[in-house]
């Protein structure tokens, strides 16, 4: 267990802002593309090109909004839903009597266990390229949930430690 002495809590709003941008950014890029306006369309394509080049493993499997592709694939967008799920799970758990033992594990063990669902991404990409969009969304949400729980466990002051 990591000793946390005199560590001031971080504000929560940057984490929530990050999650909000991750959630609304990909559909916003599709809506920008769909407008057909020169600058807006270019910004939407720029966001999609950057995210598909550096983040998203299967950009061809994106949801379409008004015949324009979202900036990331269905799996990646599912991961943002899972990240929000992790946030809400932590908020709900803290209202109960105690947090699960997993939150007291060393950060490296939490990272290892939180990374396990991401192996399903590799398996699905390598061996089931024709998987449905619903499966991709669920696959991403499970991995995002585990990552969200991990990030919440690291955010100073987010998990209230009981004496």
Q: What is the pLDDT of residues 22-65, one digit of tens each?
A: 999 999 999 999 999 999 999 999 999 998 888 888 888 899 99
Statement: residue 3 has pLDDT above 60:
no
Q: Compute φ and ψ for 84, nearest 5 degrees.
A: -65, -40
pTM score, whole prediction: 0.84
pLDDT at 142: 96
Q: What is the 3-state secondary structure (H, E, C) of 34-94?
A: HHCCHHHHHHHHHHHHHHHHHCCCCHHHCCEECCEECCCCHHHHHHHHHHHHHHHHHHHHH
CB neighbour list of residue 138: distance below 8 Å, 6 or more residues apart: 78
> How much is the pLDDT for 163?
44
What pLDDT does residue 122 have?
Answer: 86
| Mean pLDDT value of segment 95-121 | 89
39-48's contacts with Cβ under 8 Å and 24+ in sequence apart are 44/68, 44/71, 47/71
pLDDT computed for residue 161 by the predictor: 59
pLDDT digits (tens, 9 = 90+) for 116-158: 999 988 888 889 888 899 999 999 999 999 999 999 999 887 7
pLDDT given at position 111: 95
The span from the CA of 65 to the CA of 51, in Å, is: 17
Lowest mean pLDDT of 4-13, 42-51, 72-81, name the range.
4-13
């Amino acid at each position: 267990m990591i000793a946390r002495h005199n560590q001031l809590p971080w504000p929560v709003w940057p984490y929530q802002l990050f999650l909000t941008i991750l959630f609304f950014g990909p559909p916003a890029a599709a809506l920008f593309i769909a407008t057909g306006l020169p600058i807006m369309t270019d910004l939407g394509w720029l966001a999609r090109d950057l995210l598909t080049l550096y983040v998203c493993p299967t950009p061809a499997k994106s949801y379409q909004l008004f015949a324009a592709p979202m900036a990331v694939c269905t799996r990646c967008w599912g991961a943002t839903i899972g990240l929000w799920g992790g946030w809400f799970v932590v908020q709900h758990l803290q209202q109960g009597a105690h947090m699960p033992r997993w939150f007291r594990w060393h950060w490296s063990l939490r990272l290892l266990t939180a990374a396990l669902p991401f192996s399903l991404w590799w398996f699905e990409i390598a061996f089931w390229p024709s998987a449905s969009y619903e499966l991709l969304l669920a696959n991403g949400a499970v991995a995002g949930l585990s990552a969200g729980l991990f990030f919440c466990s690291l955010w100073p002051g987010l998990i209230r430690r009981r004496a």
